Amino acid sequence: MNDERPPRRLLIVRHAQAAREPPGGGPDKARPLSDHGEHEARLAGGRLQARGIVPDLILASPAVRAASTARIIAERLRYDPDTIQLELAIYNASRTTLLELLSDTDDAISVVAIVGHNPGLSELASSLSVEPVAGLPTCGIVGLALPQLQDWASLRPNTAKVAFTDFGRTIPT
């Protein structure tokens, strides 16, 4: 019996640039993207599209800036934005919390994108990778290859290889 699956990949995406203040002085979670942030997210989606990467699943923080980044990228990739899973646990999560969340991913999923916040996302990328990973700038993406990962529950530190980093300068759009 041939159980050939595409290799698992993880896209770690920091939200695009947010406005400095939430509308009406509301909570931090309500901060929208700035105009520059919307532009960053469109460009990031275009660069992922140029790489031929479309996630099977997008997980995002429900904070407005992260959810908006996920939606804009999804639209560029022709991924239905209504199927983005907003996960409260991603907001201000530690790398341990993010790892636990990813470990619960359905094994039928090959490519996961997680959109959220620093420092947790940068720490997650650094802990999973066998090589150093720079901290994520706004709308920065780290693409990790997990060729030996049999199931998401087995996701552990030092098991991924950096397939690419995209900090807005890697592929002209």
Contacts of 119 (CB under 8 A, 6+ apart): 135
Whether the per-residue pLDDT at 26 is higher than 90: the answer is no
| Residues 115-159 pLDDT 10s | 999 999 999 999 999 999 999 999 999 999 999 999 999 999 999
Instruction: Calculate ∠ Cα 103-77-31, nearest 5°.
Output: 70
- pLDDT at 170 (0 to 100): 45
Q: How confident is the model over 68-78, as a mean pLDDT? A: 97
- Measured over the CA atoms of residue 106, residue 57, residue 109 and residue 7, the dihedral's sign is negative
Beta-ladder partners of 144: 10, 162
- pLDDT at 4 (0 to 100): 67
Contacts of 172 (CB under 8 A, 6+ apart): none
Whether the per-residue pLDDT at 114 is higher than 50: the answer is yes
Q: How confident is the model over 82-106, as a mean pLDDT? A: 97
Cβ contact 119:89 at 8 Å = no
- pLDDT at 21 (0 to 100): 82
Whether the per-residue pLDDT at 72 is higher than 60: the answer is yes
* Overall size of the chain counted in residues: 173
Quick one: DSSP state of residue 81? G
Mean pLDDT score across all residues of the chain = 93
Residue 135 CA to chain centroid, in angstroms? 14
Q: How confident is the model over 91-120, as a mean pLDDT? A: 97
Q: How confident is the model at residue 3 (pLDDT cuts 50, 70, 90)?
A: low
